[in-house]
């Protein structure tokens, strides 16, 4: 149990170092740009406007308001899109981070688990800006509800879930460098296998059982129920917490078991 809590203790004991990694990651993304951190606002705003324009004015796709809580496909889509982006970007940034930072790892003694942790935290922070802007828009259009108070809880549980995957994949990539390329394929398939751009009700019954193996089905559904229907799905919350605990436990265990071999392989 103490070993499993090591990443948490490391984040607390080396909070200044973690903060430094996060600041470095954020600055690195916008290094050399004139806008700098302003792009953290401009990019999600452009995303929101673009999807609303395409889905609402061009394609004019609608969804069932009784099923989804809205008749605007853009709203329905973005409620699942931002949580998905948090996961996809976090994993993409963290999977090869140990390999990319090999020079630091082999020359400086420090808790290397801070690298994938910082990648996850940075991705969640940046994407949360767009998510909050989207929620502000929804609040002004009449969607605000008491259930929104649980949105931070959902984000935290998802972050724990993603952190476990990030620790596992970043450690595995040290030994199998193809994991990074494989992840791109997995994320693409995973995206279309998650009801982000379509309601779960459209899935044929013969394939419905496959969705029970996809944790993001619970996460995306929980966010939509909270935001659009003012409903707290307790069963989904339990499943999300279960997935988060399993992911974190397995990811942390594998990372700590592999950690001593990083120096030799890198």
Query: How would you class 142 by CB atoms within 10 Å of its CB: exposed for 0-12, middle for 13-18, buried for 19 or more?
Result: exposed
pLDDT in tens, 154-186: 999 999 999 999 999 999 999 998 998 999 999
Other Cβ atoms closer than 10 A to 88: 20
How many whole angstroms separate alpha carbon 101 and alpha carbon 106? 9
pLDDT-derived band at 32 (thresholds 50, 70, 90) equals: low
Dihedral of the CA atoms 248, 254, 255, 257 (nearest 10)?
140
Higher pLDDT among residues 96 and 35, named by residue? 96
Dihedral (Cα; 242, 260, 258, 96), 10-degree rounding: 100
Which tokens belong to 194?
A: 């998650």
CB 173 within 8 A of CB 179: yes
- Comparing C-alpha atoms, which of 93, 105, 117 is closest to residue 265? 105
Which two structure tokens, joined as six digits, stand for 208?
């419905």
Instruction: Please state the pTM of the whole predicted model.
Output: 0.90
- Provide the token pair at 198: 């379509």
Give mean pLDDT, residues 51-76. 77
Q: Which among 15, 32, 174, 180 is positioned nearest to 101, based on CA atoms?
A: 174
Within 89-172, strands assigned E span none
The residue that leads in pLDDT, 238 or 109, is: 238
How confident is the model at residue 129, as a pLDDT? 86
Every domain of the chain and the residues it spans: 6-265
Give the long-range contacts of residues 154-158, CB within 8 A, separation 24 or more: 154/83, 154/219, 154/222, 154/223, 154/226, 154/240, 155/83, 155/86, 155/124, 155/128, 155/131, 157/219, 157/237, 157/240, 157/241, 157/244, 158/83, 158/86, 158/87, 158/219, 158/240, 158/244
Tokens of 255: 């990372």
Q: Which of 15-29 are b and which e, b meaning 16 or more Cβ less than 10 Å from the residue's Cβ?
A: eeebeebbeebbeeb
Q: pLDDT per residue over 218-254, tens digit each?
A: 999 999 999 999 999 999 999 999 999 999 999 999 9
Q: Phi/psi of residue 199, each to 5°?
A: -70, 150
Q: What is the pLDDT of residue 27?
A: 75
Q: Give the list of residues 6+ apart from residue 208 with CB closer than 8 angstroms, or none.
A: none
Q: Helix crossing, 15-29 with 114-140: angle to 10°?
A: 60
For the record, the structure tokens of 150 come out as: 């649980």
DSSP string covering 246-263 = HHHHHHHHHHHHHGGGHH
């Amino acid at each position: 149990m103490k070993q499993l809590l090591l990443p948490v203790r490391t984040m607390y004991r080396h909070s200044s170092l973690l903060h430094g990694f996060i600041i470095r990651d954020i600055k690195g993304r916008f290094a050399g740009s004139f806008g700098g951190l302003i792009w953290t606002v401009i990019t999600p705003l452009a995303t929101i406007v673009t999807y609303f324009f395409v889905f609402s004015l061009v394609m004019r796709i609608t969804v069932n308001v009784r099923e989804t809580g809205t008749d605007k496909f853009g709203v329905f889509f973005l409620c699942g899109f931002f949580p998905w982006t948090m996961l996809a970007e976090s994993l993409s940034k963290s999977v090869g981070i140990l390999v990319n930072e090999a020079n630091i790892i082999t020359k400086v003694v420090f808790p290397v688990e801070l690298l994938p942790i910082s990648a996850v935290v940075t991705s969640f922070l940046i994407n949360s800006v767009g998510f909050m802007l989207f929620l502000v828009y929804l609040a002004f259009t009449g969607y605000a509800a008491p259930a929104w108070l649980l949105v931070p809880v959902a984000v935290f549980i998802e972050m724990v879930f993603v952190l476990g995957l990030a620790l596992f994949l970043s450690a595995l990539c040290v030994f199998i460098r193809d994991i990074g390329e494989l992840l791109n394929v997995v994320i693409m398939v995973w995206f279309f296998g998650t009801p982000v751009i379509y309601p779960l009700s459209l899935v044929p019954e013969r394939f419905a059982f496959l969705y029970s193996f996809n944790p993001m089905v619970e996460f995306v559904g929980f966010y939509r129920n909270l935001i659009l229907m003012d409903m707290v799905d307790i069963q989904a919350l339990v499943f999300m917490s279960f997935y988060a605990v399993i992911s974190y436990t397995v990811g942390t265990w594998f990372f700590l078991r592999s950690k001593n071999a990083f120096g030799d392989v890198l």
